Amino acid sequence: MTLIRTENRHDGRFSLTIQSGESYRTIGFPREFNLDLALHDVDADSTIVASLLAFNTKLWHQKIDSPISSEALSERMFEAGYPPERMPILDRSGDLTDYSLLRQNTLVVLPIGTKNSELDVPGPGRRIYAHPLDVANWTGRLFSPSRIFFGTNLPLLEVMGGIDESSLRLAIGVLMANDLRIGKISIPNISPEISESEMFAMSALASSIGIEVDFSSML
């Protein structure tokens, strides 16, 4: 049994945390993904998708008791091409979110510490740039009409958790998607070590909640 928690803390930090629901089972460190943002529209399906991107093998084959996904999430993940050997076991009695009204803009999630960059990324609506910054060096958040700078512990999950930073950047995009009405997420400058099959699996997860992913853009 695994529990996934989301919380907007009093210090303005959003946390995505996985916990074991069984006393005899422990989940290795790190177990928490933090963003120095307040996010208010992260639904259950988006939470599960972001967690699979951020925590990866810690959730493969695990029974997720919370949150309760929509009835069709597993089917949508499978139909999009997410590998069945990675599928968690979901309680699928939750309500289905209507994403049709939430997928209007394009989000570009830049690599950690990237300075102002303009990319010719085709996509719907407004183009918004997310600038994640290492909380070891910078905390807080800054906003402009088209840019959001915020602290995150992404580098910790990358180094200690062994999760590729492109997967973590996509998880950030998924968590921000409903608040910003995002229909397409661009992840520029991915590692050349990422295989085509891995990119396909990440895209399949996002597709299951109505988000298109672009890995082709270069800074």
Count of domains forming the chain: 2
Does residue 209 share a domain with residue 114?
yes
**What pLDDT shows up at residue 118?**
79
Cβ(25)–Cβ(17) below 8 Å: no
Q: Which long-range contacts link 196-199 to residues 24+ away (Cβ below 8 Å)? A: 198/164
Cβ atoms < 10 Å from Cβ of 125: 15
Q: How confident is the model at residue 25 (pLDDT cuts 50, 70, 90)?
A: low
Does residue 177 share a domain with residue 74?
no
Between CA 149 and CA 161 the distance in angstroms is: 24
Q: Which domain holds residue 121?
A: 99-214
Does residue 109 share a domain with residue 187?
yes
Cβ atoms < 10 Å from Cβ of 158: 18
CATH of the domain at 178: 3.40.50
**What pLDDT shows up at residue 22?**
66
Residue 26 pLDDT exceeds 70: no
Average pLDDT, the chain: 91
Does residue 83 share a domain with residue 135?
no
Residue 104: inside a domain: yes
Residue 179: inside a domain: yes
Residue 2 pLDDT exceeds 80: yes
Q: How confident is the model at residue 126 (pLDDT cuts 50, 70, 90)?
A: very high
**pLDDT single digits (tens) 146-164:** 999 999 999 999 999 999 9
**What pLDDT shows up at residue 216?**
80
Does residue 164 share a domain with residue 107?
yes
